[in-house]
Structure 1
Amino acid sequence: MESLVVPQSLSKKEKYEALLLQVASLLKGERDLVANLANLSAALKTSMGFFWVGFYLVRKSLMQKPPGAKSGNSGSDSSHGELVLGPFQGPVACTRIPYGKGVCGTAWARGSALIVPDVEKFSGHIACSSEAKSEIVLPFYLHPELQGHSREIMGVLDVDSDQLNAFDAVDELYLNQILMLLY
């Protein structure tokens, strides 16, 4: 598959449904995560018209602090590691995001999707672009078939819009379904 066809005249739900089938075909048989994340970023940006689409991947800290050691001045919990920029489509982006910081780090810490209608009103928002107005972030898992706390978050899908209130439950539902195609 060399191109995707998602008519812009469709409703948001219909666009996602058309995209879901095509992304399934696009990713089928490809086991390389970076290749799949790159194609998924491009598919979402071009088909849905998002301002920025990309992935941040969890990188564990290689230098764990000894028990009882004080944290540095960053105020973040470095024992979790950090999110590092992965494949994306759009303007240049923040390279590293600490655990629990910004929209991406908060969604990672909570282990659940986060929809932000107005990023200017999100306490601690990390502004990678002044053009981003609203955002949705969804974690994805190393082993999504496992239930409960045994699932390990591999990274987050970050989608930005240059419009306020661009994301809702429809986006969350279908983006989660698309993320499940990675496995």
Structure 2
Amino acid sequence: MAEHLYLQASSRTERYRELYPQLQGLLSRETNLIANLANTAAALRQVFGFFWVGFYLVEGDQLVLGPFQGEIACTRIARGRGVCGTSWHTGQTLVVPDVDAFPGHIACSSSSCSEIVVPLRNTEGEIVGVLDIDSDQLSDFTEEVDRPALEQIVELLAPLFSR
């Protein structure tokens, strides 16, 4: 069965509001972790046209590339390295307006200009991965709009890691 997203809003804030209940419904009908992560990445890329959307999952002391949409990416990232590894290490969402200004940024693609990384937690609160979104535009993500909306979206994924 094909899934469809129905969005009418033009502002980013409203698109997040319209997307959220549709993602809730989509994720509630499937129990497979990889399928749900893949559809979440695809939905975010489809709705917002971001350059790269994907997940890195904790494996030992590294983040390992999970489901994503976009160009080929870095496969493994050490804890505390780059934006993803730093977000994992600190447990905080990072909004990076200019990736070239981020100390230790890992350039998987020279087309990436700005980035947001949101820690992904299971229902026990343990960080099990990160949602990584890159844009080919500078300052494409904001603390006021993208951060809370994406943090709410990753909360939908927590039960998938506790099954």
Same fold per TM (> 0.5)?
yes
Once the two structures are TM-superposed, the CA of residue 13 in structure 1 deviates from its matched residue by 0.4
TM-score (norm 1): 0.82
| 1:49 correspondence with 2:49 | yes
| 1:152 correspondence with 2:132 | no
In structure 1, the partner of 2:140 is: 166
Alignment of 1:1-183 (within 5 A): 2-7=3-8, 10-60=10-60, 81-143=61-123, 146=124, 151-169=125-143, 170-182=145-157, 183=159
Q: Max radius of gyration: which structure?
A: 1
Aligned length: 156
The Cα RMSD (Å) is 1.1
Once the two structures are TM-superposed, the CA of residue 21 in structure 1 deviates from its matched residue by 1.3
Structure 2: unaligned runs, 5 residues or longer: none
Structure 1: unaligned runs, 5 residues or longer: 61-80
TM-score (norm 2): 0.92
Distance 2:51 2:76 in 1: 20
Distance 2:118 2:40 in 1: 14
Distance 2:82 2:94 in 1: 11
Distance 2:131 2:36 in 1: 13
- 4+ residue segments displaced more than 4 Å: none
